[in-house]
Amino acid sequence: MPRDAAHTPPPDTPAYRELAPIAPLRAGLTCAWTYRAPSRPASEVLVIPDGCVDLIWTRDDLFVAGPDPVAQQARMAPGALLTAVRFAPGAAQAFLGLPLQAIAGQRVALRDLWGSRARHLTDALAFDAVDPWERLRSLQHAIARQGPPVPDPAMHALFARLAHPDAPPPARLAREFDISERTLRRRCHDAFGYGPKTLARILRLQRFLGAPAQSTLLRRALDAGYGDASHLVREARLLTGLTPGALLAQRHG
């Protein structure tokens, strides 16, 4: 969702904004983003899996949102502000220093992953900043001082391959990357938190959700790579617990 600096939502409207990372981080981050929860009593937000990992700054802490295998409900305090970056495919594993399957489906404080090393990053944050964009700049510069995240070229290419509707099955992917299927699964678990079949399923759902709104449900399904409508229904329920129609209705309000 693009940043819209000219529009200030009403206080009871959630506001999500994205922008491009600063220059030193453009290879290792997909985007930087902020989210302001509505001011009404705490509500829940359905987080749809996307194969990505985010580093999120809350009011006074940093935590890592590991790769989700299924949708999760996130409970937000009234008016809460999140400031975050999203790692590029294949970049989070080396930056965080652990295989991502270890944090799949979890939200983990950075200090619990890094110990005392986390202070080098958190000490550089402007905790007294209230402007979301100032906080976002502060977070990115703190990350850059750690050494910019760099994607694993092979895993970045694998993600791109699976992101297309004509993505091949794992056996063919393994041949394309000149590795065994077992090695492909291991490296995929390390880099993305789960195997290539699960990642392909997640990216297929993301293609469906990103299709033009004027398209019919069946057209969106076929263009995303589903065999038919029932295939879409099965996978939407598996990943989110919702029907495709309910998922789109929730996404578009």
Question: Residue 226's pLDDT is what?
Answer: 96
Instruction: Classify residue 194: in a domain, yes or no.
Output: yes
Identify whether residues 133 and 44 lie together within a single domain: yes
- The more confidently predicted of residues 14 and 209 is 209
Structural domain boundaries, residue 196? 153-251
140-162 average pLDDT score: 95
* pLDDT band at residue 9 using 50, 70 and 90 as cut-offs: very low
**3-state SS class at 46:** strand
Percent of the chain with pLDDT over 90: 77
For residue 182, the surrounding DSSP H or E stretch is: helix 181-192
Instruction: Classify residue 70: in a domain, yes or no.
Output: yes
pTM > 0.85: yes
* pLDDT band at residue 1 using 50, 70 and 90 as cut-offs: very low
Residue that has been written with the tokens 């359905």 in this structure: 46
What is each CA distance from 165 to 49, 129, 181, 225, in whole angstroms? 17, 43, 21, 5
210-233 average pLDDT score: 93
* pLDDT band at residue 44 using 50, 70 and 90 as cut-offs: confident
* pLDDT band at residue 253 using 50, 70 and 90 as cut-offs: low
Identify whether residues 130 and 34 lie together within a single domain: yes
* Helical H segments across the chain, by residue range: 92-96, 110-114, 118-122, 132-146, 153-162, 170-176, 181-192, 196-209, 217-224, 229-240, 244-251
**For the domain that residue 214 is a member of, what is the CATH number?**
1.10.10.60
- The more confidently predicted of residues 211 and 253 is 211
Residue 10 has pLDDT above 50, yes or no: no
Instruction: Classify residue 224: in a domain, yes or no.
Output: yes
223-234 average pLDDT score: 95
Identify whether residues 137 and 215 lie together within a single domain: no
- The more confidently predicted of residues 46 and 206 is 206
Question: Residue 252's pLDDT is what?
Answer: 65
Other beta carbons less than 10 A from residue 171's beta carbon: 11
Identify whether residues 227 and 132 lie together within a single domain: no
Tell me how many domains the chain contains: 2
* pLDDT band at residue 129 using 50, 70 and 90 as cut-offs: confident
118-139 average pLDDT score: 90
* pLDDT band at residue 79 using 50, 70 and 90 as cut-offs: confident
